[in-house]
Amino acid sequence: MFISLNKKILYSILVFLFLITGLFFIIFINFYARNLQDRQNSLYLRNQYVVDLLYDNISLQKQLAQIYEKNPEISPVSRVNTVSQGINLTQKELSREQKLNAELQKNYNNNREALKVGAEILGFSLFIVILFIFLLIFMLDYWVIRPIEKLIEISRKVSLGIFSSRINIEKGRFQDEFDILYSAFNKMLDNTEYNIEETKARESFLQKLIDAIPDGIRVIDREYNVIMANTAFHNMLKLKKSCVGQKCYRAYNHSCEGCLQRQYACPIKELLQNSGDVSEHFHTIHEVGKRPLYLNATRLQWRNTPDDVYIVEAFHDLSNDIKFSHQQKISSLAFLSTSIAHEIKNNLGAIRMIFEGLLSSYYKDIPDTDDQKKYLLMAYNQLVETIKTPERLLRLVQYSENEETEIDIENTVKDILLMIDYEAKRHGISVKTQLEHNLKFKGNDADFKMIILNLTQNAIKAMPNGGNLILSTYMKNNNIFLDVKDTGTGISPDKLKHIFEPFYSANDSAKSSGLGLAIVSSLVEKMSGRITVKSKPDKGSTFTIRIPFGKNEKKRR
Ligand code: ADP
């Protein structure tokens, strides 16, 4: 049975009004009975007063009779008449008043009885009223308050983001507008939950889609919040994923004074603040942690409202491209130079053999002090040195042949120092070492020697007027470090950027090929290591090689 809520409320109000009217009626009766009782009381009191007066009158008459008795000169007839008349009159009056008094007494008793009954009715009515009030409260609670509380409860859950709860629609009770509201509310929750699930699924698809892109992507709103970013972006900037959605201004701070790399223009500033004046795209190159990143920022506006503007940044890591171009340069260089190097080495080798033949036969018994033999020896030594250049070039090709052995760093460094000892002494350079003992790793011995030789030779070249050359090796954070430090000419910052590039040489001399550091850097990378340099003009340079210490290798002490 359906009873409309309006009717329910109307009936409740009618009942309430009825009860209030009854209450007023009872109060009125009560008030009237009290008035009646007061009036009765006052009449009774007045009558009592009259009776008292009459008694006073009788006693006065009696006193008068006594006066007459004492004064015989008053005529007996008039005396008797006066007194008896007075007495009769008074007694008549007295009996009438007594009757009236009895009547009043009776009335009073009746009224008291009526009042008692009235009080009982009043008490009963009050009881009924309270009962009805409770009934009314129960009805209001059952029909209106509880359904509203149900709605409030569910709304609270929805506001907390719990969309899975529903309102339970009871079957046994009379249906009303609340039940229609409940079904509508439940349906609305069904739709909302479905939409949220759908949105989450789309968001996750979108996230996976942008995660699949190898370039770093991030979307920034006009408040500089990163609202979306892909895995490549996090990896490039070494950010934690939880950073997204919060205010993390890694690249630009809020005022956009702002970009961490101040030398670059901030795309947000360019694209948001000057919107309209500039093109929709912005290109720049950022250097993040020594890695050159190509940034292409685009303005995205999808609902045509001024606030609905986003910046989509795409970061492309250029280091791989640069490495690739280096490798390409080196491999084409290796390819071109191999044949030349072979040619030169073979020819020079043949000449060296001739020299050796001459020295071991014709000049065998001639003392070294002999001028001819001295010049021949000088030419021979120079030839041996010259042969090293094509050999170095040939190593560039050979290093790709992977032949790994256990390298004892201390011994290898000492071997190389023996090789450069003469050259160092010739230039007045003091060579010092701080080598950790028994530091070993798996790698290509020839490559490692090549690295140390190149770095030490460069250091010697940088100290033509003498200085200090210090070689140190140590372990730190599971990495092997080799420092080659000199107190030579140093390298200016503008040259420092290019020294690892093939064919780059700061020296104009014909001896400089500009290949040494390019080869060193390639060999270090081949060992999964890194080479860094710190240098100050006229103070000296330190080249540091870091080689990760492999899992299978153990440092033996
Ligand atoms: P090359 O020595 O043949 O010029 P490298 O690739 O070995 O080629 O070195 C590139 C340039 O780096 C050198 O020309 C030199 O100017 C600079 N360089 C390398 N090592 C040092 C050093 N220890 N001190 C100063 N300059 C150096």
* Predicted confidence (pLDDT) per residue in 46-77, tens digit: 777 877 887 887 788 788 878 877 877 777 77
Global confidence as pTM: 0.42
CA of residue 530 to ligand 1 center, whole Å: 17
Looking at residue 404, its pLDDT comes to 81
Alpha helices of 71-145 — where are they, by DSSP H?
76-140
478 to 98, 310, 410: CA distances (angstroms): 131, 43, 18
Indicate the angle between helix axes 516-526 and 371-398, nearest 10 degrees: 40
* Predicted confidence (pLDDT) per residue in 181-206, tens digit: 999 999 999 999 999 999 999 989 98
Q: Radius of gyration over alpha carbons of the chain, in Å? A: 60
Atom of ligand 1 nearest to the CA of 516: 7
What confidence tier does 256 reach under pLDDT thresholds 50, 70, 90? very low
Backbone angles phi and psi of 186, in degrees to 5: -60, -40
CA of residue 505 to ligand 1 center, whole Å: 6
312, two tokens:
């989509």
* Predicted confidence (pLDDT) per residue in 393-423, tens digit: 676 556 545 678 889 999 999 988 887 887 8
What is the Cα–Cα distance from 544 to 411, expressed in whole angstroms?
Answer: 19
* Ligand 1 site residues, Cβ closer than 6 angstroms: 458-459, 462, 486, 488-491, 499, 504-507, 512-518, 541
Are 520 and 482 a contacting pair, CB within 8 Å? no
Task: State the amino acid at position 181 in one-letter form.
Answer: L
* Predicted confidence (pLDDT) per residue in 107-149, tens digit: 778 777 876 787 787 678 778 877 887 888 788 888 888 888 8
Are 17 and 190 a contacting pair, CB within 8 Å? no
Q: Which residues are paired to 295 by β-bridges?
A: 284, 315
* pLDDT for 534 beyond 80: yes
* pLDDT for 262 beyond 50: no
Find, among 445, 446, 471, 447, the residue nearest to 458 by Cα.
471
Looking at residue 444, its pLDDT comes to 83
Going by alpha carbons, the residue nearest to atom 8 of ligand 1 is 514
